[in-house]
Structure 1
Amino acid sequence: MARIAVIGAGMGALAAAARLAVAGHRVAVYERTDTYGGALRRFERDGFSFDTGPGVLPLPAVYRDLFVKTGKEPLEACVELVQVDPSSRHVFADGTAVSLPNASRAGVVAALDEALGAGAGKRWGDFLVRAREAWDRTRRPLLEEPLWPDWQVLAEREPYPAVPHKRLLRTRRAGTLAEVGAWELRDPRLTALLEGYALAQGLDPRTTPASAAVLPYMEHAFGTWYVRGGLRELARAVYERCVARRVEFHFGADVTAVREKDGRVRGIELADGTAAEADFVVAGVAPGVLERLTAGHGVRAEGEVPPQPAASGRLTVLLALRGARPEGTAHRTVVHAPDREAELEALFGTAAPDAEPTVTVLRPGDPRSAPEGHEAVALTTVVPARLDGPYDALAERVIAAAERAVPGLRERLLWQEVITPAGIAEATGAGGGAVPVPALAAAGGRLLHPSNTTRVPGLYAVGGWAHPGGGLPHAGMSGALVAGLIVEGPDFRGSQ
């Protein structure tokens, strides 16, 4: 039985802790804040309750597997999972709107044909077929296996297939998501639909590799889910599973150093001057934090993936509305920006960040989220990596965009609360409130994440800033990979 210290109580760290405890190890989690869950937080006021992190759950199989492997009670016995239908509603720049059924390719094709015109659905459906090919080529190396030592293979190969071009009598391979939209979808609304998946991750579709086609594919193939009571309930369930497996938790425990001796990790030091010995240390922290904990000696092995570009942040505006949610309201609506180029330049270029943004509107209709006869609505948009506030003007633009999806919004408004990147930074420890992106192939490896192993024997990295990157499913997969590497050793080749 090994002693294992876990730094941080984010979802990846919790997933690793539960699996390691079940394997018979003595696991202790040290979290600098007063609660668990990382970005999965909750804001409550006057009987209203909001998720301040992710609002929907893709690929719930990751957490179903976690609960199967760590106890007798399945995930559905611990939380109430609800399939979101429609999966999403989209309001485009020209005022066209479409609701997309959940996990139904035929239903999505029919909905797009009806809303956007004959042929639109087929073009999107054909794209999803190609996206599945990219998914099949990258699923295991990107999500289910430790990062390959020869990760350059993933960096150089574009898994999204080439498409025959009728006029040129040859095939043409899209290099970016924007090229997929321009060459294959050929409709600005379908392009906005596609690029919205990149924007939601804080990625510029003009430079994001075509392999990002796996992002819409995951949603259409495996569905979108909500946890009754909010996704914070998922964090609660994973935390309680850890407690049931006798994982020790120390909240308000600020780790200041990772101790090494004789070329191997030996434990951690805390801000109060105490130390905890450990045979293994699992760090669920941002890269800059991990470098600081190891005294800046560097924990990445030679030949590691290149540093990622600065990740974007998120601005969330929470709205308490008088009046009940209307019958038939979509859980999630994406209001697309009226000027694509202006938005992209404001987010990723040098233009002033004053363009109208793409905004995601979450209206869960959960009776636990608001007093009877009222509604809780959360609005989210991406914030440029270079922007550190103020955010008042942007919050107003976010609300103005949401009015296209929520008629009479301002007349119904009781109060609002703004969650800035600084609030995210406080919850997660990531500088600037940056949100990590999921790992993607191609693009020279700039969207891969560092491996879960480090140059220091016994020290492992877990969570969104390590392989396989950001997002709730990816965090759960990261926990599984780290647990496998510790339990089975360096010969571990991934989950089955």
Structure 2
Amino acid sequence: MARIVVIGAGMGAMAAAARLAVAGHRVTVYERAETYGGAVGRYERDGFAFDTGPGLLHLPAVYRDLFVKTGKEPLERCVGLTQVDPASRHVFADGTAVSLPNASRAGVVSALDAALGAGAGSRWGDFLNRARDAWDRSRRPLLEEPLPADVSPFARDPYPALRTGLLRRPAATLAGVGRRELRDPRLAALLESYALSYGLDPATAPAAAAVLPYMEQTFGTWYVSGGIRALADAVYARCRERKVEFVFGAEVTGVVVKDARAVGVELAGGEVAEADHVVAGAPLPALYRDQVLGWDSQDEWPRHQHGVRTGRVTVCLALRGAREAGAVHRTVVHSADRAEELDALARGRLCERPTVVVLRPGDERLRPDGDHESVTVTATVPAGEPWASENLWGAAQEGAPEGAVEGAVEAFAERMVEAAAAAVPGLRERLLWRAVRTPADTFRETGVYQVPGPALAGAGGALLPAANPAPLGGLYFAGGWAHPGGGLAHAGMSGALVAGLIVEGADFRGSQ
């Protein structure tokens, strides 16, 4: 039985902890916050409750596998899971709207034809066929296996882009795929919204990001009763059932190294917790020090952080009045000026007309009673130091009046609410109050401003996260900042990979 220390109680870290405990190891989790879940948080006020991280689950098989492998009680006995149908409703800049059924290729094609005109559905269907090829080529090595020592094959884009134009060149980016292959600004906006939801800029994301809409439309979209936070509750409970020990309010400040191997962690109070293996579930500044990994700065955690500099602004809306019958759970209201939105994202500033994702769960556990409704509105924004300084992309330059940053944030939130009104009837009249969360809140809770993106092939390998085994022996990385990257399902996969590497050693070849 090995002693294992896990740094952080995020979803990937807890997934690893539960699996390692079942394998017979003694596992202790040190979390600097007073609760678990990492980015899967909850905001509560006046009887209203809101998920502050992801609001929907894709690839639930990842957590089904976790619960099967760590105990006799399956996932569905621990949380309620329901398919969201329609999976999403999209409101485009020209006012056109379309509802896409859940996990039905034929249904999506039919809906697009009806809403956008004959031929739109077949173009989207043909695109998904090519996306399926990319998925089949990259799924196992990018999701279910540890990264190999030689990652150069991942530099090539697996998406079989059509060769169009005079020079017969394929599109190199997701935005290029939308322009060349879909040939309708609304279909292009639909495609790009999937990249934005994962924190990727469609103008720079590789064509391989086509696997994101394929994954969602093929395997479906699911809601966890009580919100995604209820899934975090269930994973935490499973860890406790398997005798994982949690120490909250315990900040890890360093990794103890002996003979070129991690042998424990150092806590803020000076205590040392000895370990045979250390699992880091979050970016830890101490790991950037030369004596540990030889990295020069936080920018090297992980490699793909160079290309992903986005976070989320979430507006929690407390509404009076019951949710109307037939209300759609998720509505994407697309920007009225997509070019300006993407330009602002690339330049590191807040745009004038953001694309917003509106979630209306209709869950009685998230509202004080049937005469009220809780709604979240989310937009992808640049993230980084500007959220910590007094300079919000020109909103508060040196010498600007006090409160300029807060004013810029509130103005952006107001624009988000204005867009969300297309998804919520009578929104303005029903609004009791709103709470705004920015990347600064993400930093306070997780230690980083950004939301990690998923591992993707292509782009010269720039979107590959840090490998699970660190260069330092005995140290492993789990969670969204490690292979296979960000996203709720991806974090669960990283926990499975780390547990496999520790239990089976270098011979581990991936999940079965």
TM-score by length of 1: 0.95
Aligned to 1:480: 496
Q: Among 423, 433, 437, which residue is 1:419 paired with?
A: 437
Aligned to 1:380: 378
The letter of the residue matching 1:482 is V
Correspondence list, 1:356-395, <5 A: 356-370=353-367, 371-385=369-383, 387-388=386-387, 389=392, 390=405, 391-395=409-413
Counterpart-to-counterpart distance in 1, 2:24 and 2:168? 54
Counterpart-to-counterpart distance in 2, 1:93 and 1:110? 21
Give per-residue Cα distances to partners, 1:109-158, cap 9 Å, x unaligned: 11101110011011111111110100000001110000111101101x11
Correspondence list, 1:274-313, <5 A: 274-286=271-283, 288=285, 290-291=287-288, 297-298=294-295, 308-313=306-311
* Distance verdict in 2 for CA 1:306–1:239, change over 3 Å: closer
Aligned to 1:429: 447
Aligned to 2:344: 346
Aligned to 1:320: 318
Does 1:188 find its partner at 2:185? yes
* Distance verdict in 2 for CA 1:459–1:178, change over 3 Å: same
Aligned to 1:439: 455
Task: Confirm or deny: 8 A CA contact 2:51 2:228 kept in the other structure.
Answer: yes
| DSSP 3-state at the match of 1:341 | helix
Correspondence list, 1:81-96, <5 A: 81-96=81-96
TM-align CA RMSD? 1.9
The letter of the residue matching 1:124 is W
Task: Confirm or deny: 8 A CA contact 1:299 1:455 kept in the other structure.
Answer: no
Q: Structure 2 unaligned segments of length 5 or more: list them.
A: 393-404
Counterpart-to-counterpart distance in 1, 2:472 and 2:26? 21
The letter of the residue matching 1:448 is L
Counterpart-to-counterpart distance in 1, 2:151 and 2:5? 28
Aligned to 1:68: 68
Deviates more, 1:388-397 or 1:235-244: 388-397
| DSSP 3-state at the match of 1:490 | helix
* Distance verdict in 2 for CA 1:66–1:299, change over 3 Å: farther
Q: How far apart are residue 297 of structure 1 and its match?
A: 4.1
Give per-residue Cα distances to partners, 1:342-363, cap 9 Å, x unaligned: 001111126x524210000000
Aligned to 1:121: 121
The letter of the residue matching 1:276 is A
Aligned to 1:42: 42
| DSSP 3-state at the match of 2:279 | strand
The letter of the residue matching 2:352 is A
Correspondence list, 1:122-137, <5 A: 122-137=122-137
TM-score by length of 2: 0.92
Aligned to 2:396: none
Q: How far apart are residue 221 of structure 1 and its match?
A: 0.6
Q: Structure 1 unaligned segments of length 5 or more: list them.
A: none
Task: Confirm or deny: 8 A CA contact 2:161 2:177 kept in the other structure.
Answer: no
Counterpart-to-counterpart distance in 2, 1:5 and 1:35? 17
Task: Confirm or deny: 8 A CA contact 2:200 2:308 kept in the other structure.
Answer: no
Task: Confirm or deny: 8 A CA contact 2:357 2:379 kept in the other structure.
Answer: yes
Counterpart-to-counterpart distance in 1, 2:262 and 2:58? 35
Task: Confirm or deny: 8 A CA contact 2:174 2:210 kept in the other structure.
Answer: yes
Task: Confirm or deny: 8 A CA contact 2:40 2:51 kept in the other structure.
Answer: yes
Counterpart-to-counterpart distance in 2, 1:358 and 1:287? 32
Q: Among 232, 243, 250, which residue is 2:240 paired with?
A: 243
Percent of pairs with identical residues: 67
* Distance verdict in 2 for CA 1:221–1:276, change over 3 Å: same
Counterpart-to-counterpart distance in 2, 1:306 and 1:342? 25
Deviates more, 1:282-291 or 1:83-92: 282-291
Aligned to 1:493: 509
Does 1:404 find its partner at 2:422? yes
* Distance verdict in 2 for CA 1:414–1:307, change over 3 Å: closer
Q: How far apart are residue 309 of structure 1 and its match?
A: 2.8
Counterpart-to-counterpart distance in 1, 2:247 and 2:291? 21
Counterpart-to-counterpart distance in 2, 1:289 and 1:367? 43
Q: How far apart are residue 171 of structure 1 and its match?
A: 6.2
Counterpart-to-counterpart distance in 1, 2:454 and 2:244? 28
Q: How far apart are residue 383 of structure 1 and its match?
A: 1.5
Counterpart-to-counterpart distance in 1, 2:445 and 2:435? 16
Counterpart-to-counterpart distance in 1, 2:232 and 2:351? 35
Counterpart-to-counterpart distance in 2, 1:404 and 1:293? 51
